[in-house]
Structure 1
Amino acid sequence: MALRLTARPILDIALQYRFDSQQTFTRAFKKQFSLTPALYRRSPDWSSYGMRPPLRLGEFTMPQHEFITLSNTPLIGVTQSYTCKLEEISDFRSQMRVQFWRDFLGNSPSIPPTLYGLHEPRPSLEKDDEQEVFYTTAVTPEMANGHLHNSHPIALEGGEYVMFTYEGLGTGLQEFILTVYGTCMPMLNLTRRKGLDIERFFPEDESRDQDTPIQLRCEYLIPIRR
């Protein structure tokens, strides 16, 4: 994760995991992932080959998932960003998702039937141990209806995706996403291609009046190459 999501020097990562040198780390890494750390970092694709799902005491049930092909989709949205350390990403992402959607929907007279959250992490250009996360809250153009301030057009790239479905409390969504990446992607031996992760929400009108955490249904789409 640190190789893909931060610009942290490879030697620092090696020392963090108790390797005595970068060379020792590189040999062990290549044996496990069939790539050197440098090539793994630079590759446009992110293969789950070599990843080991965490050990679980009980039986694991794979979340509902399917492979779909999306066509190019025009959207209207607002993009915001934040920076955080890799260890903070789950807490920050949960908090920012709530705040960004609250800001976004505060300007809408009604809740659209489908909402899109587009997620793109990049290594921070200022601090090598942090990442910058871009999160776009978006709707289809006909749903925007002129109510969204500072919005801009977005071209959602088509292609093949794996889609996992989550239903439950909003507070459980981030843990679900970690399970998708840490367990499901390796078990399915999938390769993530370059592109945005897509969160597709289907809110009910009364969800605006629900106490937090709200019940939600989310389709989580990851761009893949098979």
Structure 2
Amino acid sequence: MKKKFLADIIHWIEDNIDEKICSSTLENISGYTIRHLSNIFMQYTNLTPAKYIRQRKLCRAAFLLRLTNLKIMDIAYQLKFDSQQSFSREFSKLFGYSPRQYRKSREWDFKSLQLPIQPENVPEIKFEYCILESKKYHGYRFSFEQQMYFIRENETIIRYQKIIDIMRKYHSDLFISSTFSPHAQKDRHLIVNSFLGFHAKNDLLISTDEEFTSEDGKYIKFSFNGSLNEYIYFPRSVYYYLLPKLRLKRREGSDIEILKYIDTACPGTISCDYFIPVV
């Protein structure tokens, strides 16, 4: 019962993390005094509600700093900090970097990011570290925009289904390399620039063939087997939950997806290895 109650409160906090959340608001939402609510939080999380909310706001700020062009002042304002100075002070205290240093760093440090608390058991994501050699691929480039906190399910499924159809048509594993950059005109939107191709040249697939060389180095590898509907949320779960949990630093480079061709695979399923460059 307490876990269900805590999950509901945390879900409400996540939906309202951009708002100013005070003790009286939590009491009205939960129906409990802040003291009783704090006892429940401490029992399962070792955090008070106030500390959890503050760290989740700073985590949201960290993603906004890395993935958008929003001014630091605007981020502080959106997350309802009293001032840019108080925001910068709290951010530096948690991460050991000023907001500007965190944004400009060549490495993305996930070490101090506060994960959204999950009172209920969640499926374990398997991973391993590996060294990839550079390889040449033949294919083409494409790009699309993506919201930071919302996935257009139908649009994303259609895009991946087209990719899977290409893979199955030519009976070969398929390579995708993607980089992310802030959208120039839209807040909280990213531009994803991708290269799609095969290890062997396939003139039947692409008339205007382009060559791409993948980057070598250390990566963390996540394996996925399941439905396409589940997979479209998989990379986000890795970034929002697992990288902070593992306290990793992401280095510069592209995310890599290797979609595996399986002749007997059912429609709507996908088998994929997902690689993220790490220090």
Instruction: Give the TM-score, by structure 2 length.
Output: 0.70
Aligned to 1:110: 169
Give the letter aligned to residue 162 of structure 2.
Answer: R
Task: Tell me the SS of whatever aligns to 1:205.
Answer: coil
Q: Are the equivalent residues in 1 in contact too, given 2:141–2:194 (CA < 8 A)?
A: yes
1:31-59 deviation digits (Å, cap 9, x = unpaired): 11111111111111101111112111223
Q: Are the equivalent residues in 1 in contact too, given 2:115–2:244 (CA < 8 A)?
A: yes
User: Structure 2: which 5+ residue stretches go unaligned?
Assistant: 1-62
Q: From the superposition, tell whether residues 203 and 98 of structure 1 become closer, same or farther in structure 2 (CA, over 3 Å).
A: farther
Q: Are the equivalent residues in 1 in contact too, given 2:68–2:183 (CA < 8 A)?
A: yes
The structure that has the greater radius of gyration is 2
CA RMSD of aligned residues (A): 2.3
Whole-Å separation in 1 of the counterparts to 2:152 and 2:100: 28
Which of 194, 197, 201 is residue 135 of structure 1 equivalent to?
194
Say how many residue pairs are matched: 217
Within 5 Å, give how 1:206-225 maps onto structure 2. 211=267, 214-225=268-279
Aligned to 1:150: 208
Aligned to 1:161: 219
Q: From the superposition, tell whether residues 167 and 103 of structure 1 become closer, same or farther in structure 2 (CA, over 3 Å).
A: closer
Offset at 1:203?
2.5
Whole-Å separation in 2 of the counterparts to 1:195 and 1:123: 15
- Larger relative CO (CA 8 A, sep 6+): 1 or 2? 1
Instruction: Give the TM-score, by structure 1 length.
Output: 0.86
1:105-151 deviation digits (Å, cap 9, x = unpaired): 55x78333311122211112344543211122211134x24421333
User: Structure 1: which 5+ residue stretches go unaligned?
Assistant: none
Q: Are the equivalent residues in 1 in contact too, given 2:127–2:222 (CA < 8 A)?
A: yes
Q: From the superposition, tell whether residues 216 and 109 of structure 1 become closer, same or farther in structure 2 (CA, over 3 Å).
A: closer
Q: From the superposition, tell whether residues 218 and 109 of structure 1 become closer, same or farther in structure 2 (CA, over 3 Å).
A: closer
Give the letter aligned to residue 243 of structure 2.
Answer: M
Higher helix share: 2
% same residue: 26
Whole-Å separation in 2 of the counterparts to 1:103 and 1:200: 12
Whole-Å separation in 2 of the counterparts to 1:180 and 1:87: 14
Aligned to 1:91: 152
Whole-Å separation in 2 of the counterparts to 1:34 and 1:147: 49
Whole-Å separation in 1 of the counterparts to 2:168 and 2:233: 31
Aligned to 1:17: 79
Higher strand share: 1
